[in-house]
Amino acid sequence: MEASVADERFTVNGSNELEAKLADNCRVTLTGVKKLIPEQALEGLLLAGGYGRGEGGVLKTDAGDKPYNDMEFYVFVRGSAFLAERKFRHALHELGEDLTPEAELEIEFKAITFNKLRKSPVNMFYYDLVMGHRWAMGDKSLLTGCEHHRDASKIPLHEATRLLFNRCSGLLFSKARLKHNTFCQEDADFIGRNCAKVQLAMGDALLTANGQYHWSCRERGNRLAALKDVLNGELMNKIRSHHNQGVKFKLYPERSQLSREEISELHADLTALAGEVWLWIERKRLRANFRDAREYGVSGANKCPETWGARNRLVNAKAFGLKSAFGKMASRYPRERLFNALALMLWMDDSEKDRRLVSTLQTNLCTKAESFEDLVKAYETMWHQFN
C-alpha cells in the first residue's frame, strides 16, 4: 500500500533537481521509519506542510534551487495515540536529526493514529493535513471517516486567533531583536521571515473568520481579493497587499536584503496592522468591545472559553505546580496568559516601564523578570509549551 511521490510536485515550479531531491528525502525517510516502527504497528507515512500541499518554498541560489521549509511527516501507527506519542517520540526526533543534514532541510515527525484523526473536532491544522498532503506510505482510503475535516467553514473562530497569536509571537521575538545594540544578517533573515508569516496570517485569519479559508495559499489570495471589507477599505487594501507579498515569500523565499532601518519600518507597519486584525477577531470571538491592546491585556475575560475548566486545572498543575490548580487562573487554559502578555508587550511601547503592567506580565508569565528582554524570554519559554 505504498504510493510513489515521484510523479507529484512538492513545489509550484522548483527545478527538476529539487523535486527529485525532495522525492528522495521521502523514500529515505520511509526507510528510516520502517526500521524504527514494527511492520504490524505502522499504518502510514504522510507528508504534510507546504511540500505536502505542493506549495513548498523554493530558495533560488547560485548553486540552483534549494529547499527552504521543513518536511513535516505524520507517522500513523495502530493503537493509542497517547502511547504512540510517548513510545516513538524520542526515537523519531533522533531520526529527524540524523536525516536532516543529508536532506538539506529539517525533517520533523509527529506520531498519530487514524482513530484520533477521525474523532478529533475540526481545526485548521487537521483541515490542511487532510486536504493537502503526499503519501510516502499509504493511500487516500486510510482517511475514510475524516470527511468532516474537509469543510473549512467549520473551522472555529478560535483557530483564527491561534494563527494570529503564533505569527504575532514572531513579531514579538523580532521586536526583542530590534532592541539589541547589534544587528546582523541572521537578525535580518529572522525578522524578515517572521514579517512574511504575519503578512500571510492577517488575511488568512480574516478568511477563517468568514468561513472562507482554503488549504492553498494561492487560492486564499484569490478569496481575500473578493472578500467584503470587514475592516475599513484602507486597512483591507493594506492587508490584501501584504497577503500577496506573503504568498510570494512562501513560494519563493529570499534572504532579507533590508537594512535595520528598513526592516524596523516594515515591522512597525505590520505590528500596527496586525493589532487592528487581532482586536477585530477578538471582539468578534469573545463578544467584547476591547478599546485597545491595553484593555484587552488586563481584561479578566475568559479568552479560551472553548476549553474545559476542570481539565485546565490539571494542565495548570502540571505546568506550574500544584498551587496553580487552586489559584486565580486555575480554571483558565494557560494560553490565555500568553494572549494577555502578547497584547501588552507587542502593541504597547515601553510596557516594562509601567509598574502595574509589569506586575500583570509577571503574573501571567509566572516570572520575576522586569526588563523587556527577560519578559520576552519568559514568554518564549511558555509559548513553546502552549503555542
* Helix/strand/coil for 47: strand
- Rounded to an integer, what distance in angstroms lies between the CA atom of residue 95 and that of residue 108? 9
Q: Are 139 and 187 in a shared domain?
A: no
Distance of CA 243 to the CA centre of its chain: 16
Residue 40 phi, psi (nearest 5): -70, -15
Q: Are 87 and 114 in a shared domain?
A: yes
Q: What is the CATH number of the domain that holds 127?
A: 3.30.460
- Rounded to an integer, what distance in angstroms lies between the CA atom of residue 75 and that of residue 93? 12
Q: Are 35 and 92 in a shared domain?
A: yes
Q: Are 218 and 125 in a shared domain?
A: no
Q: What is this structure's pTM?
A: 0.92
Q: Are 139 and 173 in a shared domain?
A: no
Q: What amino acid occupies position 382?
A: M
> Nine-digit cell at 5?
511521490
Range of the domain at 259: 153-287
For the chain, percent of residues with pLDDT exceeding 90: 89
Q: Are 258 and 301 in a shared domain?
A: no
Q: Are 302 and 281 in a shared domain?
A: no
- Rounded to an integer, what distance in angstroms lies between the CA atom of residue 58 and that of residue 15? 9
- Residues 183-224 pLDDT 10s: 999 999 999 999 999 999 999 999 999 999 999 999 999 999
In the chain, how many domains are there? 3
Q: What is the CATH number of the domain that holds 189?
A: 1.20.120
Q: Are 106 and 161 in a shared domain?
A: no
DSSP label at 183?
-
- Residues 215-274 pLDDT 10s: 999 999 999 999 999 999 999 999 999 999 999 999 999 999 899 999 999 999 999 999
Domain boundary among 101, 119, 150: 150
Say if 25 falls within a structural domain.
yes
Q: Are 161 and 140 in a shared domain?
A: no
311: enclosing H helix or E strand: helix 309-320
